[in-house]
Amino acid sequence: MARKDVEDLLVAGGEDRNVRARYDVPATMEEFVALAAEDGYLFTVEELAAILKESGDVFEKNGNPAKRQIWWV
């Protein structure tokens, strides 16, 4: 179930710039996971990190303004 929640969130962010903007704010994975839990996505930092690694995505922000490049389309 946790894997599906991570994937659902990454797809939601790929489809909706408001979701991306909301999740670009947290500075750490822990804050990101806590925000996701508030929105009903239940997964751990370890599960998020594993899925991002599998997909070749990097959690850190880049650019100006800083944004994450983890979103799936």
- pLDDT, position 48: 98
> pLDDT-based confidence at 69, cuts 50/70/90?
very high
- Residue 42 reports pLDDT greater than 90: yes
Task: Flag whether the pTM goes above 0.85.
Answer: yes
Whether the bond into 26 is cis, omega within 30 of 0: no
**Domain residue extents for the chain:** 2-55
- pLDDT, position 60: 96
From residue 70, give the alpha-carbon distance in Å to each of 44, 46, 64.
Answer: 16, 16, 16
Q: pLDDT for 10-41, tens place per residue? A: 999 999 999 999 999 999 999 999 999 999 99
- pLDDT, position 61: 96
- pLDDT, position 1: 76
